[in-house]
Amino acid sequence: MLETLKYLIGSTGVSGFGSKSTAEEATETCPDLLSITAIITGATSGIGAETARVLAKRGARLVLPARNLKAAEEAKARIVSEFPESEIIVMALDLSSLTSVRNFVSELESLNLPVNILINNAGKFAHEHAISEDGIEMTFATNYLGHFLLTKLLLNTMMKTAKQTGVPGRIVNVSSSIHGWFSGDMIRYIGQISRSKSQYDATRAYALSKLANVLHTKELAQRLKQVDANVTVNCVHPGIVRTRLTREREGLITDLVFFLASKLLKTIPQAAATTCYVAAHPRLLNISGKYFADCNEAWTSKLGSNSNEAAKLWAASEIMVSKHAKAVFDPLSAFDYHHM
């Protein structure tokens, strides 16, 4: 109750920011980002577009990977019209396709660009059951698995950039408080919904993908620490905001729900604040493996803080993204794979 009250009145936490803070306010005291290159997925609209706009305002060079290149070019044009000095590179990427992720990274490497910040922001809420070209349920494939592979393939470049420049790299995984809605056996459920739609529940699948983002952050932070990488990874809950995520469900019911929840809704500039804060603020130097909401450290669900679950998900993810094997989950006995 107290937390809800704090949220509603926008009281600030130890960071000096709160639920009503905007992305511009959260980065106002940051040093300029003129020497920084940031990759932001899902930056064509909503929270991602505002995150891109604010980081461009602070001087960062942006790489905007997108499935819809026309929308990405339009997003770029909007930013450049406001900040003419901006350097923005639009590239093709479909996160639901592991081949597309590999092609994107290969193309990026050919440009010899440094990578200082990676913001895994793109999100999908698939109301209808669908399977990716790699045989994985679509929400999980897009929100988590594509980002898992993207991060894995960019880590060497990020570590190299950090070593050469002395500027620590930062990875930001955009999750949601909805991650706490998932309970049960994650691997079993991924297997079930990747094989048939009989067990599919759109909200549960979305919650699972967001829990996976949280666990990815936890396990990756440990691994980065073990190799003494000058790269941190943190996770954020942006808050509830009406974005294009709900585009498949416009109508009276959606409108009514959002009207009733309007007191809890954030504006897009407010929703982008935590991402921008975690990506750029000096206060977050050397902070890794944490979960943030309203620009302050927050608690994950019990499952979201489980190290064993994080390790288990990582092992399953490695199999799913393996070039030489296609994941074939057996919901009755964790997972297995066969060579294609």
The residues assigned a catalytic role are 200
What is the sign, positive or negative, of the torsion defined by CA atoms of 155, 156, 158, 162? positive
Q: How far is CA 146 from CA 33, 98, 252, 317, in A?
A: 27, 6, 33, 10
Q: How far is CA 135 from CA 112, 191, 337, in A?
A: 32, 10, 12
Beta bridge partners of 107: none
What are the two backbone dihedrals, phi and then psi, of residue 126, each rounded to the nearest 5 degrees?
A: -90, 105
Structure tokens at 190: 């991924």
d(CA 133, CA 202): 19
- Whether the Cβ atoms of residue 313 and residue 186 lie closer than 8 Å to each other: yes
- Whether the Cβ atoms of residue 235 and residue 171 lie closer than 8 Å to each other: no
What are the two backbone dihedrals, phi and then psi, of residue 84, each rounded to the nearest 5 degrees?
A: -60, -25
Structure tokens at 152: 């894995």
Residues in the chain: 340
- Whether the Cβ atoms of residue 143 and residue 206 lie closer than 8 Å to each other: yes
Listed residue (212, 184, 173) closest to 291, CA to CA: 173
What 3-state DSSP class applies to 263? coil
d(CA 205, CA 246): 15
Under DSSP, the state recorded for 167 is P
Structure tokens at 43: 């930056």
Structure tokens at 138: 């679509």
Q: How far is CA 236 from CA 39, 300, 311, in A?
A: 16, 10, 20
d(CA 250, CA 140): 22
